[in-house]
Amino acid sequence: MPKGRPSDPTKPDTSGRQKNTGKCKSDPKADDPTDIDSEKPVFCPFTVIIDTREQAPYQFRTFKADAKHKTPSGIVRDLFIPVEIATLKTADYSIKGFESEIAIERKSLTDLFGTLGSGRERFERELERLSEFQIAHVVIEASWETVLCKPPERAKLSPKSVFRSINAWEQEFPTIHWQFMGMKAIAEHKTFRILERFWNQKQKSLQGSPEAIEKENPQSGVTSM
């Protein structure tokens, strides 16, 4: 048992020791770097939806939280990203609850050449559907240099045809963004950051809306139109 006189609860604590506030894990401040659970991962506030047909999907397991979320030793904490496998009518990745607003199509180098070759008509129909989304991206796991100079060995389509096709689609569907990311790991990172950006902007747009005010204060008298 430690020696010394018991502290007086009526006097301020000048010992410099951090008190246990009894904060529960559901508290929004549980992600604070000084919290007792600061060694644990930071939880992503949204769930990533992965299409059931996606082969070798991204795992989203190697991400770090923002720099403000650090352990007591100064190491940035891991970011836990919830994922759910479900059927998406269009594309491969989206956010749960916003499947009709944001869509990301992923293509490996081999898949890109195959899609623009034998699967061209089907892919063009998918681009038409993607163009109706608020946010739509096609993420390629290769750089333009690789596409043009190092195409798949058994590719039946020439790099020039791929280049011209994408150039035409960029003008025909200007709301669809093409991302050439160099490699799978970078493409995975880009995919999550696109989703994260959409989520953050969506939350900002909801703040102060009649629906948000009514949810926080049902007696406010604010009604939605």
Domain holding 41, by residue range, is 35-216
- The verdict on residue 224 lying in a domain is no
Element (H, E) at 83: strand 83-86
Q: Are 168 and 124 in contact (CB under 8 A)?
A: no
What is each CA distance from 1 to 5, 8, 35, 166, in whole angstroms? 12, 18, 26, 73
- The verdict on residue 119 lying in a domain is yes
Tokens representing 167? 């150039």
Q: What is the mean pLDDT of residues 46-74?
A: 92
- The verdict on residue 22 lying in a domain is no
Q: In the β-sheet with 176-180, what is the strand arrangement from edge to edge?
A: 83-86, 48-51, 93-95, 102-107, 135-140, 176-180
15 or 130, which is more confident: 130
Which CATH number characterizes residue 78's domain? 3.40.50.10130
- The verdict on residue 1 lying in a domain is no
Output DSSP code: residue 75. Answer: P
- The verdict on residue 183 lying in a domain is yes
- The verdict on residue 178 lying in a domain is yes
Number of domains present in the structure of the chain: 1
pLDDT of amino acid 185: 96
- The verdict on residue 91 lying in a domain is yes
pLDDT digits (tens, 9 = 90+) for 178-210: 999 999 999 999 999 999 999 999 999 888 655
Question: Which residues contact residue 76 at a Cβ distance below 8 angstroms, ignoring those fewer than 6 apart?
Answer: 64, 65, 66, 67, 69, 70
Q: Give pTM, 2 decimals.
A: 0.76
91 or 26, which is more confident: 91
The band of 211, judged by pLDDT with boundaries at 50, 70 and 90, is low
pLDDT digits (tens, 9 = 90+) for 8-57: 434 444 444 333 333 333 334 445 444 545 788 999 999 999 999 998 99
Tokens representing 189? 């990172």
From CA 54, how far away is CA 90, in angstroms rounded? 11
- The verdict on residue 27 lying in a domain is no
pLDDT digits (tens, 9 = 90+) for 149-180: 999 998 889 999 999 999 999 999 999 999 99
From CA 139, how far away is CA 104, in angstroms rounded? 7
